Amino acid sequence: MSKLFRVLFVLLMALSLPLTTAFAHNDHGKHHDKDILVALGDSVPFGFSPHRNNERPAKYAFPYLMGDKADLKVYNFAVPIWKTEDLLAALDENKKFRQAVRKADYVTVNIGGIDFLEILQEAKVESRGDSKKFLQLLEQKLAKTDVFDDLREILKEIRSLTDAPVVLYNIYNPFQSKDPFHKVAEHYLPQINAVYENLADDFKNIELADAYKAFDDSQAKFVIRGDVHPTKAGHVKLAKIGLRALDLDHARHQHHHH
């Protein structure tokens, strides 16, 4: 027991030290009083692309573009291939995530796209080319998925940690217009995104960024061909709607430190 206690104590000391120094505004010069944007989510805010080495988030990822435009310090906590349950677990249990959200002046949330793609994939495999069965399976899987409950819990958890403004991104259609899946996604995404909108409405100070509408049918411009992730132009678009949702899209925003 005492050994466990010692390990915990060392861990707590280790956790309490770097964070206070990292967040004490002692990085010299112009960072000195920037507001902090914390980006949460999957490979979209990470800036994943099949054409790059994805060891760390891309410089062109939309959270950084938002930071550049609105003069914010950005902490990108997005993790490729994360689903809603992964983000929820991190917000529940991971000290680093919880601490970052507590310190945030703004938060962006992008999650659920992979859950949706997985449901599509499963329905496709299980229906074995029978299109009627495919749509039936899709309905069933969407009806019993935990994604929407997870999303609510994610927002609840964020709200318990901070009252900073939050932007919740909904899901854009990741399929090029000639892809047969494009039509299927068009059929289901409005229903799925209606849930995102309702969730944003249910919480104080959580705004929806409508990526679905922003990308519309311009996948050729905004989505990497043969892939589901945004192009650089797509990231510019996502940054734009994020800043608008946060009301930071005018040239310089005033600091409002609490």
Asked whether residue 66 is domain-assigned, the answer is: yes
C-beta separation of 59 from 53 below 8 A: no
Q: What is the pLDDT of residue 32?
A: 60
Name the pairing type of β-strands 106-110 and 166-169.
parallel
Q: What is the pLDDT of residue 9?
A: 47
Q: What is the pLDDT of residue 28?
A: 41
Residue 212, domain CATH: 3.40.50.1110
Q: What is the pLDDT of residue 6?
A: 54
Distance between CA atoms of residues 170 and 199, nearest Å? 11
- Token digits of residue 11: 């861990």
In the predicted model, residues of the chain with pLDDT beneath 70 are: 1-32, 250-258
C-beta separation of 40 from 87 below 8 A: yes
Q: What are phi and psi of 198, to 5 degrees?
A: -60, -40
pLDDT tens for each residue of 151-164: 999 999 999 999 99
Asked whether residue 193 is domain-assigned, the answer is: yes
Decide: helix, strand or coil at residue 36: strand
Q: What are phi and psi of 67, to 5 degrees?
A: -60, -45
Nearest one of 100, 118, 112 to 199, comparing CA atoms: 112
Asked whether residue 13 is domain-assigned, the answer is: no
Q: How many domains does the chain have?
A: 1
C-beta separation of 44 from 78 below 8 A: yes
Asked whether residue 129 is domain-assigned, the answer is: no
CA distances from 50 to 62, 83, 228, 238 (A): 17, 19, 10, 19
Domain that holds residue 108: 32-113+147-245
Asked whether residue 26 is domain-assigned, the answer is: no
**CA dihedral angle for residue 57, residue 59, residue 61, residue 63, rounded to 10 degrees:** 90
Q: What is the pLDDT of residue 3?
A: 53
Give the global pTM.
0.84
Q: What is the pLDDT of residue 147?
A: 96
Q: What is the pLDDT of residue 33?
A: 84
- Token digits of residue 88: 């929820």
For the CA atoms of the chain, what is the radius of gyration? Answer: 20
